Amino acid sequence: MSRSIGFRPRWLAAPALAAVLALSACTSAAAPPAPTTAPAAQPTTAPAAATQPATAPTAAPTAAPTAAPTAAASPAATASSEETVAVRDDPKLGKILTDYDGKTLYHYTRDGANSSVCSGGCAQAWPPLTVSGSVKAPDGLTGTLATITRADGKTQVTYNGMPLYHFAKDAKPGDTAGQGIGGVWYVVAPGATASATTAPAKDNSGY
């Protein structure tokens, strides 16, 4: 009786063995063999930083010059390019000589021909008409415009031999406050000579 219980039929053992083998084959096929070589280590050095472009120059461009261009110099006035005397038509005295600024000119009856005796305080009250170069008469003026050298070395203008003067109290062009003072100071008319003491009438000016 015990013998029959412990006996397993051969047809039952064969299927069981086949199942074990099939399971083993499936397991082997499902799991790929583990690699035996470790993968190469990743590089640990960080890649070099990209080169930054060159820094742009920070210096400001050179400022444009601010100085204004130098102005052209005005041509200097010269005695040869400017009339030394002029002729003005005075409403009371007729045509008389003035300097180029229009201030009245006088002559002193005590002067000699081409000679001045007015100096010191006289010359302060009656400043001589002086120049530093040559003289120039206006077109149409008759007579002779020339110069003499004064005792102080200055060059005084003469007309027909008469030294010419201003009057210090003539404040502006057109004034004739010096006319007849002391009976020796008079305006100068065009064409006048040293003996003249008053300006001629307009019709006899000769200018």
Report the greatest alpha carbon distance in the chain. Answer: 198
Report residues of the chain scoring pLDDT below 50: 1-7, 9, 11-13, 20-23, 25-35, 37-41, 43-51, 53-57, 60-61, 63-81, 199-207
Between the alpha carbon of residue 54 and those of residues 57, 58, 89, 125, the distances in Å are: 9, 12, 84, 83
Q: What is the pLDDT of residues 2-43, one digit of tens each?
A: 444 444 545 444 555 555 444 454 444 444 444 454 444 454
State the pLDDT at residue 151. 94
Domain ranges of the chain: 82-204
State the pLDDT at residue 82. 84
State the pLDDT at residue 155. 98
pTM score, whole prediction: 0.58
State the pLDDT at residue 198. 54
State the pLDDT at residue 194. 79
End-to-end CA distance of the chain: 187
Q: How many CB atoms lie within 10 A of CB 188?
A: 23
